[in-house]
Structure 1
Amino acid sequence: MKILYHHRVASKDGQYVHIDAIVSQLRAKGHEIIMVAPNVAEGADFGSDGGWVAAIRSKMPRFISELLEFSYSFLVFFKLLKAIRQHRPDVIYERYNLFLPAGIWAKKLCKLPLQLEVNSPLYDERKQYGGITLARLAKWSEYYAWRNADRVLPVTNVLADYIRAAGVSDDKIKVIPNGVDRAVFSAQEQHNRAAQFAGKIVVGFVGFCREWHQLDQVMNKLAAMNNRHIHFLVVGDGPVIGELVAQAESLGFAEAFTTTGLVSREDMPYWLDQIDIALQPAVTPWASPLKLLEYLAKGLAIVAPDTPNIKELLRHEHNALLFAKNNDTQMITHIQTLIENAQLRKALQDNALATIEDKRLSWSDNADCIVDWFNEHRQSK
């Protein structure tokens, strides 16, 4: 099958990981992928925020930036038409973005089936966290894309509720959580354990750490336990790293605390091999966190909030310990419980591994789901 893959992601982050994983799996299954997308991230290091495009937009008044964002749709519409004329794809697969109706225009004009992957309700997300000026245009573009796609693929059922509220019928919605490459993120390999973590119970956090992750409270508790077998590992970067390093020094916990800084995607399996108890302290209410899937695939004992989207994958005392949202005390109590209860920790780790298979949480499974629908759609015509 020839699949035209369209997206507007210019950064090299979790979004890029998702795109690269799906494209790689589709190609591995023998499909031809025609990419229509920015090339800003190509060749950039992981963690790049979009390069010169992001830098220019950050200096513009918001309404001008949003106008340019919408204007890009006209440019990419002609790029899509050119790609369609040149390559004659069978279908279109698009990663949804705000102010981006071009894929739907191309689908309608060229009469191609289109599946729309949705990772967040961007109108609500930007309105809440960054602000939005052209609100009516933004909301129109979101609803227009959702309503006119042949199939909409939200990553959680919580996110699917936003799409239902926009008037999209259930028969056009299929929830597909994020996944993992099981060949890369397989069960923990103990021979990878670094000497400094050997014989330790390692409590780990992966990601860009901020104040609301409450890692300072976690460190206070771990230091107070006065257990030489405990180690705290932060894999990533963030604005509170300096404060955590200083806190570890002041608590006499410096030898039991390690921070890696930003690590490459290729090195992530190695760092997850160092962790026994994995933390997901906070999450946006509609997300399917990539790191959570990777924790499960590695078979880690997970501590996470009991929000509805998280509970689509995790069950308390089965494959994780879940704490009430914003209840830092309960989160820290769960960490202590897992440190002290090796039997429970092992049970959660075993069930975490089984979850990937039971719920088909791999990129390969996701690619199969996408292709199966395209085949069914073509056969029904």
Structure 2
Amino acid sequence: MKVLHIVSTALPLEGGHSIRNHNIFKYLKNKIKNLDVAVSIFEIDEKRLSRNLRFIEDDVNYTQIISKKIIWYLKVFYKSPILNQPLQLFLIFINYLKIKKTFNINEYDIIHGHSGYNNGISAYLIAKKFKKKFIYDLHALSIDNIKKGTLKYKIAKRMESFLIRKAEVLITIDPELKKYIINKYGISEDKIFSTPNGIDSDLFSKNTKLNKEDFAGNGKFVIGIDNSKSIENFQFILKNIDQIIAVFPDVFFVVFGDKNSNLEYDPEYFKFLPKIKFKEMADYYSILDLFIMPRIRNNMTETITPLKILEIMSCEIPVLVSNVNGLSSCVKHSETGYIFNLEKGITSFNDAIKEIRSNKELIKVCKNAREWVVSNKSWENAAEQYVNAYHKIFKKEHLH
């Protein structure tokens, strides 16, 4: 069996989707042998041009559908509220044509398209044209990132619904997302496979390479927080910083993500880290006394467990998360981490930190967290679910 994966992003861009895909592909390559990856044109980043159009990483074959001309068009038109949506539809067709021209599609048995919907539609058109089996891989629902009621939202909703119904097999990044798809779209449960995120537990393990005093000074209780997306709810900390300091005057926040230049931050309590290489993340996690994830409540946070929380649990760092399903599904209060009630706000948050700081069994909680991640969240297990999805379409003896 030969499978063509069509993805929207890949290395050398280090993001959740590219890291997830590559780690699964590494293990999947050993299970089905014949696997190629097409990287679509939708990601705007000139770093991609630093790689050859065709490159091999950990024995995985990548082919980039990209050019300087395409990046120029994206830069000029992508942020235009008027031209953005027509451009997206145009790029879907261009992406389809370039993949069709680059690959001998007749060699493949399955076209495995990954979200977002623009990438998925390109993959569907190829599968339809060449009469190939089509799998749609939902890393997240595209509409969860788009303002409701807009033209962009309406188009994305219709396109994504079309893909969900047309795919012969669906793959979701999380069991909670699988449940949502079944209830929302009436899709049969046996048509959907869940492939949760995994962790390289050797890479993400406790270490002492960095000294926290170099970042926060002496005697500080160092708390890490993500600020890469609005759903991470860094605003919750900014809004309540006075109440937090009143209870915990020794607190110091290390922020993973961009600093908003329009806001002022007291350097006595905040330090923003620059972009960190993926393989160095565990070193920076090691300086933390606690990592918090006060995510807001929406469909994405209710249906998806982020990679970062698993990485930190694997490093045996205490975690405090808001009570959204995507986090409470892996964090069990007082067993593998701690949960505060988002609706009760700063009172619940401060109470949880008090509980954490007074818990004499905290080391045991952290060890429980790592053991749970190592036992339940491996990339090899995720790759095995891909194989199960392929079994659904073809008989087992045809996989190799």
TM-score (norm 1): 0.81
For residue 172 of structure 1, what is the amino acid of its counterpart?
K
2:178 is aligned with 1:160: yes
Give the 3-state SS of the residue equivalent to 1:92 in structure 2: strand
Matches within 5 A, 1:252-263: 254=268, 257-263=270-276
Over the aligned positions, Cα root-mean-square deviation in angstroms equals: 3.3
Matches of 1:258 and 1:44, distance apart in 2 = 30
Matches within 5 A, 1:86-235: 88-99=107-118, 100-128=120-148, 132-133=150-151, 136-164=154-182, 165-186=184-205, 188-194=206-212, 196=214, 201-208=221-228, 212-216=234-238, 219-220=241-242, 223-225=245-247, 231-235=252-256
1:212, distance to aligned residue in structure 2 (A): 4.7
2:61 is aligned with 1:57: no
Partner of 1:43: 47
* Structure 2: runs of 5+ lacking an equivalent: 50-69
Checking the alignment, whether the CA contact within 8 Å between 1:219 and 1:232 is kept in structure 2 is no
2:294 is aligned with 1:281: yes
Checking the alignment, whether the CA contact within 8 Å between 1:147 and 1:167 is kept in structure 2 is no
Pick closer, same or farther for the CA change 1:57–1:17 going to 2, 3 Å. farther
Pick closer, same or farther for the CA change 1:356–1:136 going to 2, 3 Å. same
Partner of 2:260: 239
Matches of 2:316 and 2:73, distance apart in 1 = 39
Checking the alignment, whether the CA contact within 8 Å between 1:205 and 1:234 is kept in structure 2 is yes
Matches of 2:160 and 2:173, distance apart in 1 = 16
Partner of 2:321: 304
For residue 268 of structure 1, what is the amino acid of its counterpart?
M
- 2:36 equivalent among 34, 37, 55: 34
2:285 is aligned with 1:267: no
Partner of 1:251: none
Matches of 2:241 and 2:154, distance apart in 1 = 45
For residue 216 of structure 1, what is the amino acid of its counterpart?
L
Partner of 1:363: 379
1:67, distance to aligned residue in structure 2 (A): 2.3
Matches of 1:127 and 1:226, distance apart in 2 = 37
Matches of 1:67 and 1:239, distance apart in 2 = 30
Matches of 1:237 and 1:78, distance apart in 2 = 36
Matches of 2:35 and 2:381, distance apart in 1 = 18
Pick closer, same or farther for the CA change 1:281–1:226 going to 2, 3 Å. closer
Checking the alignment, whether the CA contact within 8 Å between 2:208 and 2:283 is kept in structure 1 is no
Q: Which has the larger displacement, 53-62 or 366-375?
A: 53-62
Matches of 1:270 and 1:338, distance apart in 2 = 22
Pick closer, same or farther for the CA change 1:23–1:42 going to 2, 3 Å. farther
For residue 94 of structure 2, what is the amino acid of its counterpart?
L
Give the 3-state SS of the residue equivalent to 1:282 in structure 2: coil
Checking the alignment, whether the CA contact within 8 Å between 2:77 and 2:87 is kept in structure 1 is no
1:280, distance to aligned residue in structure 2 (A): 0.5
Identity, in percent, stands at 20
Matches of 1:355 and 1:221, distance apart in 2 = 34
* Structure 1: runs of 5+ lacking an equivalent: 249-253
